[in-house]
Structure 1
C-alpha cells in the first residue's frame, strides 16, 4: 500500500511538473489541443494541461534576414544579376497574427520559398518595363515598388517587410565591357570639351588683349599724329613769320627780296646734302633752271607782299 501511494505521489508530481513550459524571450509558443489551436504562450514560465495540450510551434518574433541571388531581364533583353538582403519579422504579437504565422504555411521552408519567389517576381516584373541603361539609377524605386507590392500580402501572412537592400546589381560581361567603354568615351568627350572651352577662353583673352593693345596703339598714334600736325603747323607758322620779318627788313634796307629767297634755296640744298642719308636728290643746276627757280620764288614773294603789304606805304 505504501508503494502504491508513493507511486501515485511521484506520478502526480511528474504530471504537474510536465505541465510547466518555459518560453524563451523573443519567441511565442502556439498551443493546440487534440490538433486544434487553443491559445498562445508569451515569454516566461507557463502552464499547459499535461498530455492534453501540446506545443505546436515556437515562433520567433525577432528580426530575420535572408540573402537573395537571382536574375532579371530588361525590356531591351539585357540580363541583370541581383544580390539582395531581405529583413523581415512577425508583424506583432497579437493572437490573430500569431495564428496566421503558425498555420498559413505547412512549414518554415514553404514560407521562405513563397517569400523569396514573391520578391523575385515583383522585382522581375518591374525590371521588365525598364531599359538596361536605367536600372543602375533605380535602386530606390525598385525597393519602393517591392514594398508596395508585398506589404498587404505579407501582412496577410502575419509578417512585415522591414528592409530590402539591393547590395549588388551587375550585368553580363559583354554589357559590362560596353558600359565601361561608354563611360570612358563620355569621359574623353567631357575632357575634350573642357579642353576646348579652356582653349577658347585662352584665345578669347588673347584676342581681347591684342585688341586692347591695338586700340591703345591706335589711340597713341592718333595723339602722336595730332602732335606732329601741331608741330608742323607751328613750324610753318614760325617759318612764315621769319620770312615775313626778313622780307620787311630787306625792304626797309631797300635791298632786293630775291636775295633772301636765293639764300633760302641754297640753305635748302645744303640741308639736303647733309641730311639726305645717301639718298639722291636731283636739282636743276643750269642757268635756266636757276632762273626758273628764282622766278617762282619771286612770284611767291610778291603774293606774300600783296597779302601782307608793308606798313607805312
Structure 2
C-alpha cells in the first residue's frame, strides 16, 4: 500500500487544525478569547475549543486569591515618620463576563495593575495618617483598614477586583519616637501604680477610722448602759434600805420603843465602816449632842419621805 503525498499533507493539515483548535484551561484560571483583537468570549477550566487562526487566547486570568506585601512610610499630623509593613489579599471580583473583561483590558499587564493597586492603597493610608497624631496611630489598625476598604472598594470593582483583606503587620516609628513613647508608657504605669497605692492607703485609713469610730460608739453605748444599770442598782439599794428602816422603826413603835435607836445604830455603823475601810482620808463628824440630833432629824425626815412615797403609790 502506497501513500499519496497529497493525502499525507491533507491528514497533516487536519492534525494541525485539531491541535490548534484545542485549548486546555487550568483549574483556578479562565481564558479570554478575542477575534481579530476584539473580545469574543471566556473559556472556563477544562477542555475547550476555538477556531484556529481566527480566535486567539488573549490572556489567561487567575481567579484565585492573590497576595502582595507592601512596605512604605507616612507622616502624621504632628510630623512623625511612620513605617508600615502590610499584606494585601485580593482576587477577581467574580467570573462574570463584565468582571473578566475589566481584568483583561483595563491594564496593559499584571505589573501595571499591581503598581496602580499598591500606589492607591499607600496613598489612601498616607492621607488618613496625615490627619492623626503619632500617639493615636498604634490604636487605629482596624480603623485604617476600614478606611482603605471604603476608599478603594468601588474603584477596584471597576477594575474587576475586590479587596479581601489588608493586614498591617508592623507599624513602627523612628527610634527617638519609640524611646519617648516607651518613657510615656513607663511614666503612665508609675502614675497608675502610685494612684492605686494612694487609693489602697486611703481605703485602709478609712476602714481603720471607721473601725475606731465604731469601737468608740460601742464603748460609749456600753458605758451608758452600765451607768444606767448602776443608777438603777443604787436606786433599788436605797429603796430596799428605806423599806428596811421603815419596817424597823414600825416594829420599835409597836413595841413602845424609841425609833431613834435605829438611826443611832445606823450612824454608829457608818462610823465603824469608815474606820475599818478608810484609806488615810480624814472624815470630820460632829459628835456633839446638837450634831447628833441634827443628823437624827435628817434621817427621820428621809424615812418619813420614803414612807409617804410608799403610801402614795
TM range (shorter): 0.7 to 0.9
- Equivalent of 2:271 in 258, 269, 272: 269
The CA distance in 2 between the partners of 1:16 and 1:256, in whole Å, is: 158
Per mean C-alpha deviation after superposition, the further-off stretch among 291-300 and 117-126 is 291-300
- 1:290 corresponds to which residue? 287
The CA distance in 2 between the partners of 1:215 and 1:281, in whole Å, is: 37
- 1:158 corresponds to which residue? 160
Q: TM-score, normalised by structure 2?
A: 0.81
- 2:59 corresponds to which residue? 57
Matched, 1:13 2:10: no
Question: Could you tell me whether the CA contact under 8 Å between 1:284 and 1:290 is conserved in 2?
Answer: no
Aligned residue-pair number: 303
Alpha-carbon shift at residue 219 of structure 1 (Å): 2.5
5 Å-filtered alignment, 1:84-163, equals 84-163=86-165
Alpha-carbon shift at residue 79 of structure 1 (Å): 2.5
The CA distance in 1 between the partners of 2:7 and 2:190, in whole Å, is: 97
1:32-62: CA deviations, max 9, x gaps? 4454544433322233343444323211111
Secondary structure, counterpart of 1:290 in structure 2: coil
- 1:81 corresponds to which residue? 83
Q: TM-score, normalised by structure 1?
A: 0.81
1:220-249: CA deviations, max 9, x gaps? 222221221122223223333444455556
- 1:182 corresponds to which residue? 184
- Gaps (5+ residues) in structure 2? 309-313
Secondary structure, counterpart of 1:18 in structure 2: helix
Alpha-carbon shift at residue 81 of structure 1 (Å): 2.4
1:199-232: CA deviations, max 9, x gaps? 4444444434433333333232222212211222
Distance 1:44 1:245, change over 3 A: closer
The CA distance in 2 between the partners of 1:180 and 1:230, in whole Å, is: 74
RMSD between superposed Cα atoms in Å? 3.2
Secondary structure, counterpart of 2:145 in structure 1: helix
Secondary structure, counterpart of 1:76 in structure 2: coil
- Gaps (5+ residues) in structure 1? none
Distance 1:226 1:3, change over 3 A: same
The CA distance in 2 between the partners of 1:113 and 1:301, in whole Å, is: 124
Distance 1:281 1:244, change over 3 A: farther
Question: Could you tell me whether the CA contact under 8 Å between 2:141 and 2:168 is conserved in 1?
Answer: yes
